[in-house]
Structure 1
């Protein structure tokens, strides 16, 4: 599981940062990529990566402001030309289907795959299958904006083959039953309890992605105990008044959330173009004074999300 940041800027594209988009790469977990927001020129950013548009199976939109949305029609069209023929689901606020359908209709763009739309509730579960659960909650922005909590289901414990061999349990179809935890009777009459030969389950990981918002009560439950919290940080600590006025967060707001929610790592994104060079380092250092494991991300940064018990590099 990896996060790859395709755009980390706020408002308009800048030389150093494109507008917002982040890919959650679940290639080992389910051979899919999920996009969170699709700002202008997201498909151009993808050309600089190894990402395959046909692998994108789900798109989650935090809100319908242009810097999170204007790249969507182009990406959807290009996916058709790049081998994408499997259905794609778009999760977004009310109005997203009208925007996409209208854009495709007026431009006479015809997709080679079906689109499905899910309108975000104020709070609820969007997806719950064998491998993942995705929850959302409404935040506090000038228009409807949402945060997402992506919860990986626990991985079953592995079959301890070496232990079976040490106990002279012959290989064969019986291993499949033992792996399911069943009690089996061997040819020599011994009874084997499968639970005795299965390792501990591997705890699933949690990723929280917070869209544009002022500080609000909904954020901490979304972020609670997350392995990674991706949080907007449009402004620095000196701009708290402006941040509140424009319904955005500061680096300090995000760091306080990370500390209260007891997350493992905080990644700051959606950075205003006013912050360059030393100013970016100050954003990071100021946040680290509150929550040490903080990083201001840059375009095309990739972050591996390790399992519990392993430390980030």
Structure 2
């Protein structure tokens, strides 16, 4: 009896040491998350209540900047432009990604090589892609104008990024090219998870290709599509690097996405409180986007 009593505390101490070991392993990651994610978010909320330049100006304004966001046309214009940008880019990703994934899901010689080639845009840093296409679209020595002129499509050089009408679609096209590999890879993994027996059963039941797509492919891809569309939409709604490097938000306000607007407010106008408030609103918008997608694409 006494031996059993002594054994129990020893086992309990060993269990506590085992649990403490687990906490020690995860503590570096937790500390990094607190330092790099949680603390900046809390500090951003704190800043949003002040009119401050972070140096010698700290004036409490409460909810002023949040209320201004819903009364200023500048905010609405920038958010609507960002929504349009997100919709076009995500739609382009899914159209191209689905077509390429369907092709790469078939068996043919050199399939692995083509998979690597089509993944390349996602592997390059956004700054490199932006600078590359800035040179390609240069109105004086850009290769795009040279190719189009040699094909007889245009007669004179076009300023793709300097025109208020062409800058936005040009940036959208580059962002589609940069981001489609993620969607392609996710859809390809989903297609490979659908059993060929389901397609065979559908063919036996007399289903044509379109009905097989609607009744077999789409339901099989639904979990993958839900995750992918949420990640892709939120990522491109808050896009900054590509657009800023290519156009800086110009010409005028043609590509002035909300992320660029917030950056300019903070680091050009030194109105960090207003920028923080608008950043918090964008965070809420991104959360609502994911919430709406989950509601629409939920499993019946």
Query: TM-score band, normalised by the shorter chain?
Result: under 0.3
Larger Rg: 2
**Which of 1 and 2 has higher RCO (CA within 8 Å, sep 6+)?**
2
Return the TM-score normalized by structure 1: 0.26
Return the TM-score normalized by structure 2: 0.27
Hey, which of these two has a bigger chunk of strand by percent? 1
Hey, which of these two has a bigger chunk of helix by percent? 2
